[in-house]
Amino acid sequence: MDIKWLKTFIIAAKHENFRKASEELFLTQPAVTKHIKRLEENLNSQLFDRIGKNITLTAAGHKFLPHAKEMMSTFEQGLEDFEAWKQGYHRKLIITTAPQIASSILPSILRSFTEKNPDIEVLINILSSYEIGDEISAGRADLGLTRIKPIQTNINCQVIHEEPVLLVGPNIADQNSKYDETMALQKYRIITHNHPEYWDDLLNKIKRFYPAVRTMKVNQIEITKQFIEQGLGISYLPATMVKEEIKIERLSEIKPDKIYPPTSSTYLLTKVVTSEASEFIEFLKESIHLKEGFKCR
């Protein structure tokens, strides 16, 4: 039995249309028909009913489809494992992380970890903080790094990092005007909702002191920073996300007066702790000050 026949059958079953299957597989329609015919001959069973140009799965087709998918999955996993072995990997670690973490605290830690553990293949999946709890709960990743506390009750959660949140604005170092909180909030729009955890409470606090403040919602920190640099507004952002821009004077830190910003937490999520995940967590403990773990309820 040729593995190409199985793949063609699975795609044809998905579309119940040989033309659409040929387009997805980059094959000619006669080639698709030939693959299905050879598979049916090998199984001694008809997998599709053909009525003109329309095809539907037969009872035998429905019965065989999950087995075909399982065989295809095993084949593809085998190829992945073999390719990893050729590259010197003998173990695997799947990390799902929020984009803010992937672009701030993770790269340097990951570089040092992979240098120390060259036999571990590390796969990174970038998702929003809201999706990471589901990913860990479903067992699709070994550990997750997120900016919000998950709602799932079947996973474990640890605070691994806490940092201050800073009010930042465009760099006006060459201007003579005083750059304080009141001036900034009166002059600029405040760019909100670029962090998943603290904005609702923070915005209520801001409006108590500055009821006329104007807002602009932007759901990505990197875009927020670009907007601030262009003078479109100011925002409250985690310190690690803006430290380089402040250092090279692309952004300016605005000292708090009436509004004292919250802290930003990074959470580590696990369900079943594999040996590879355990090693990575221990490495995190050495890299940053790990807060006391807790069970999410």
User: What would the pLDDT profile of 164-197 be if each residue is shown by its tens digit?
Assistant: 999 999 987 655 456 789 999 999 999 999 988 8
CATH number of the domain bearing residue 220: 3.40.190.290
Considering the domain architecture, whether residues 145 and 283 belong to the same structural domain is answered as yes
Q: Report the sign of the C-alpha dihedral through residues 177, 178, 183, 185, in that order.
A: positive
* 174: DSSP letter: T
Considering the domain architecture, whether residues 269 and 157 belong to the same structural domain is answered as yes
Alpha carbons 224 and 220: distance in angstroms, whole number: 6
Considering the domain architecture, whether residues 208 and 187 belong to the same structural domain is answered as yes
pLDDT at res. 165: 95
The count of structural domains within the chain is: 3
- Tell me the pLDDT band of 79, cut-offs 50, 70 and 90: confident
Other beta carbons within 10 Å of 280: 23
Alpha carbons 23 and 246: distance in angstroms, whole number: 51
Q: Which of 58-72, 74-88, 275-289 has the lowest mean pLDDT?
A: 74-88
Query: Mean pLDDT for the chain?
Result: 88
Is residue 160 within 8 A of residue 290, CB to CB? The reply is yes
* Residue 208 in this model has a pLDDT that exceeds 80: yes
Which of 71, 86, 101 delimits the end of a domain? 86
Model confidence, pTM: 0.65
Considering the domain architecture, whether residues 168 and 129 belong to the same structural domain is answered as no
Considering the domain architecture, whether residues 140 and 176 belong to the same structural domain is answered as no
Q: Which of 109-123, 161-175, 230-244 has the lowest mean pLDDT?
A: 161-175
Which of 53, 71, 86 delimits the end of a domain? 86
Considering the domain architecture, whether residues 149 and 274 belong to the same structural domain is answered as yes
Considering the domain architecture, whether residues 33 and 102 belong to the same structural domain is answered as no
Considering the domain architecture, whether residues 154 and 275 belong to the same structural domain is answered as yes
Give me the domain span that covers residue 201: 163-263
Alpha carbons 18 and 85: distance in angstroms, whole number: 37
Which of 86, 111, 140 delimits the end of a domain? 86
Question: Which residue is associated with the tokens 């955890």?
Answer: 197
Is residue 96 within 8 A of residue 280, CB to CB? The reply is no
pLDDT at res. 296: 47
Considering the domain architecture, whether residues 115 and 46 belong to the same structural domain is answered as no
Considering the domain architecture, whether residues 103 and 150 belong to the same structural domain is answered as yes
Q: From start to end of 27-155, where are the E strands?
A: 48-51, 54-57, 91-97, 120-126, 143-146
- Between 102 and 88, whose confidence is greater? 102
pLDDT at res. 289: 59
Q: Which of 8-12, 27-31, 103-107, 261-265 has the lowest mean pLDDT?
A: 103-107
Considering the domain architecture, whether residues 111 and 246 belong to the same structural domain is answered as no
Considering the domain architecture, whether residues 191 and 282 belong to the same structural domain is answered as no
